């Protein structure tokens, strides 16, 4: 019997899961061994989308970065950096295709920003790896060109100069600000950080007293979907801008703050019937709640909540968010998403990477 017990213990200790911390499990490496082929032209959803075509590359970056951060997994980091070098040398993502009769760049630039946020968030980790230090200059030249390429007004060709399209003021503008804040983090540019903060503050200043964001409330049955979209960017921006002395959590003069926007989202999830008064008469029960479940591509739109709960663990909003999020044994854990630059579960559980 003693021998059987010793054998069982030996097998258990040899198991990869034995003795692994929650952080180690969250910071999982990329699956598979392939590298996605570089995509040069970004066409956006109007051309059936390049979002999905870029997703495997973004996922590789986010998972490689997490594995390096939480496990110091050098082979995983090498995979991520090698893919970055390959895409940089291929001139990937450099062509933005206008679409439709108005020649709009809105969807193409949106796709570029979304990809960049995942890539830049990952590069913040991967640049500290041995391979990252070797290829640092080449990769950042390419990334710098892409950051400049997306930093433009969006809309139809004739209306862009005046930035008249709503995409220059809603959640699209927050993605532009996120790229600026990430690049400020990578380069130390206070000017870019201030520019990103101005966009974020303008969004918070324009918020209704109840926490609803007017431009997102105009989305009808997708009002909560886009409220969450904007909140994800604002929460991530708050983290990125804190080292620059910008505090997005400070209340307005009337006491309304970003916490109120999160409470509004949670109230709408719990009582959607109350939303019809603020969504143009749209029936509350028709709200799109797909952001509460893991997406088919491995992402989770609620990944931003990990950042919020880590920063404000004592708040009631954090408790309510915890009820909605997948736990370690459930599908969707760890939480990662392009819009917040990667695996946020790994990020908060390994706040002091080795």
Q: Are 216 and 230 in contact (CB under 8 A)?
A: yes
CA angle 202, 206, 209 (to 5 degrees): 140
Angle formed by the axes of helices 304-311 and 223-241, to 10°? 50
Q: What is the pLDDT of residue 8?
A: 41
Q: What is the pLDDT of residue 158?
A: 82
- Comparing C-alpha atoms, which of 109, 123, 199 is closest to residue 157? 109
Residues 6+ apart with CB under 8 A from 48: none
Q: What is the pLDDT of residue 283?
A: 61
Tokens found for residue 37? 């082929």
Q: What is the pLDDT of residue 30?
A: 94
Residues 6+ apart with CB under 8 A from 346: 23, 26, 27, 28, 66, 69, 70, 334, 336
* pLDDT digit string, tens, across residues 173-230: 999 999 999 999 999 999 999 999 999 999 999 999 999 999 999 888 899 999 999 9
Q: What is the pLDDT of residue 231?
A: 98
All residue ranges of the chain with pLDDT < 70 are 1-19, 44-51, 280-285, 352-354
CA–CA dist 192, 152 (Å, integer): 14
- Comparing C-alpha atoms, which of 43, 137, 27 is closest to residue 84? 137
Q: What is the pLDDT of residue 273?
A: 84
pTM of the model: 0.91
Residues forming beta bridges with residue 42, ordered by sequence position: 96
């Amino acid at each position: 019997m003693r021998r059987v017990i010793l054998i069982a213990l030996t097998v258990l200790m040899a198991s990869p899961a034995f003795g692994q911390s929650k952080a180690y499990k969250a910071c999982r490496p990329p699956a598979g061994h392939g590298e996605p082929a570089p995509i040069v032209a970004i066409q956006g959803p109007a051309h059936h989308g390049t979002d999905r075509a870029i997703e495997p590359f973004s996922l590789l970056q986010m998972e490689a970065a997490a594995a390096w951060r939480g496990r110091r997994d050098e082979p995983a980091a090498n995979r991520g950096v090698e893919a970055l070098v390959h895409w940089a040398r291929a001139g990937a993502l450099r062509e933005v295709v206008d679409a439709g009769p108005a020649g709009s760049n809105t969807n193409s630039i949106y796709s570029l920003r979304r990809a960049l946020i995942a890539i830049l968030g990952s590069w913040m980790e991967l640049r500290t790896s041995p391979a990252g230090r070797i290829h640092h200059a080449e990769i950042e030249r390419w990334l710098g060109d892409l950051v400049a390429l997306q930093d433009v007004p969006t809309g139809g060709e004739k209306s862009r100069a005046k930035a008249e399209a709503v995409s220059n003021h809603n959640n699209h503008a927050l993605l532009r600000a996120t790229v600026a804040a990430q690049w400020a983090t990578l380069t130390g540019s206070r000017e870019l950080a201030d520019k990103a903060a101005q966009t974020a503050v303008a969004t918070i200043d324009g918020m209704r007293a109840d926490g609803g964001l007017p431009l997102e409330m105009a989305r009808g049955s997708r009002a909560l979907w886009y409220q969450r979209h904007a909140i994800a960017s604002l929460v991530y921006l708050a983290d990125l801008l804190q080292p620059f002395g910008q505090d997005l959590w400070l209340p307005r003069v009337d006491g309304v703050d970003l916490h109120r926007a999160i409470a509004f989202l949670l109230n709408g999830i719990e009582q959607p019937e109350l939303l019809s008064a603020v969504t143009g008469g749209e029936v509350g029960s028709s709200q799109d709640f797909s952001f509460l479940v893991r997406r088919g591509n491995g992402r989770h739109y609620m990944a931003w909540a990990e950042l919020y709960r880590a920063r404000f663990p004592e708040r009631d909003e954090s408790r309510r968010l915890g009820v909605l999020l997948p736990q370690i044994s459930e599908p969707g854990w760890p939480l990662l998403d392009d819009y917040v630059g990667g695996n946020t579960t790994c990020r908060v559980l390994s706040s002091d990477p080795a």
